[in-house]
Amino acid sequence: MSTLRNTVINQIIDYLEHGDFCAEDFDSQFPDDSTVLAQITFKALPKYTFVLDETYSGGSIGSALAVMGQGNAKKVIRTVEKPGTYKNLETRTHEDIDSAITRISAWVRSIRDDLINSRATLRSTIDELTESFQKSIDENIDDPESYFESHEEDAIKAKLDELHKRVSELEKKLDFTPEETKKIEKAIEKSKSDLKVYPKGVWYKTAGTKLLTVMKGILKSKEGREILADLAKKLLQ
């Protein structure tokens, strides 16, 4: 038998029904004989959890003193939420069980918000790759005002041909549209032709960055991001 009464458990289940999800989307555990009263996990992404437990005010020191029968620590109800309202993990203490379980609604909303905004976070991460690439140009390109020698042009073209081959292999797997494929091909060919036009530093900061920018708008999967990182690394070798 769980520590919580059935009435409280039913209230928790009702809160899980709010919003875009239903109670079946969550793995809800209600332990018996434990300081943990409820542990809820979002099945689709188990990193999202909500824990309801009993602890003592004063943190770990207060808990230790309470166990020894010392101090003035007061037993409180605590919620540990991943994600929280504005942090990935937030801990709150509550005076009563009702205020604690009402946090479930906010937690469910936070999950939805986190999922919706994960794509924007991904874009930010990829933009960091472009920023890193630009910074690496200044650190790794010797004599940026000089022009590419023929053998240097050939080496870069070979890298771009290898990139084109990899993208072609992943075209079906990543479900590119014909328009997206043409964008990548056009960016690769433009980068090749610009090798004879621009000095090294200018080429990397314009043609190279343009190529990354076009591709980052299309390669949004984990494998796609790995291709981008590999491309940035190889272009500077």
Task: Dump pLDDT digits (tens) for 69-113.
Answer: 555 567 899 999 999 999 999 999 998 999 999 999 999 999 998
Chain centre distance of CA 169:
26
Percentage of residues in the chain having pLDDT higher than 70: 79
Least confident range from 20-34, 51-65, 150-164, 170-184: namely: 51-65
CA distance 175 to 181: 10
- Can you give the pLDDT at residue 73? 65
Average pLDDT of the residues in 186-212: 84
Average pLDDT of the residues in 215-220: 70
- Can you give the pLDDT at residue 61? 47
Average pLDDT of the residues in 126-154: 79
AA identity, residue 61:
I
CA distance 110 to 108: 5
CA distance 53 to 39: 9
pTM > 0.75: yes or no: no
Chain centre distance of CA 76:
33
- Can you give the pLDDT at residue 129? 67
Q: Cis (ω within 30 of 0) for the bond into 46?
A: no
Give the Å distances, CA to CA, from 69 to 34, 58, 73, 140. Answer: 19, 14, 9, 64
Q: Are 214 and 206 in contact (CB under 8 A)?
A: no
Residue 136 pLDDT > 80, yes or no?
no
pLDDT digits (tens, 9 = 90+) for 146-195: 898 999 999 889 888 887 887 777 777 767 777 888 888 888 898 898 89
Of the pLDDT bands very low, low, confident and very high (cuts 50, 70, 90), residue 209 is: confident
Residue 65 pLDDT > 50, yes or no?
no
- Can you give the pLDDT at residue 77? 95
- Can you give the pLDDT at residue 66? 45
- Can you give the pLDDT at residue 43? 92
Dihedral in degrees, nearest 10, Cα atoms 51, 52, 55, 59: 40
List, in sequence order, the alpha helices (H) in 88-177: 97-101, 103-140, 150-170
- Can you give the pLDDT at residue 222? 65
Residue 12 pLDDT > 80, yes or no?
yes
Residue 17 pLDDT > 80, yes or no?
yes
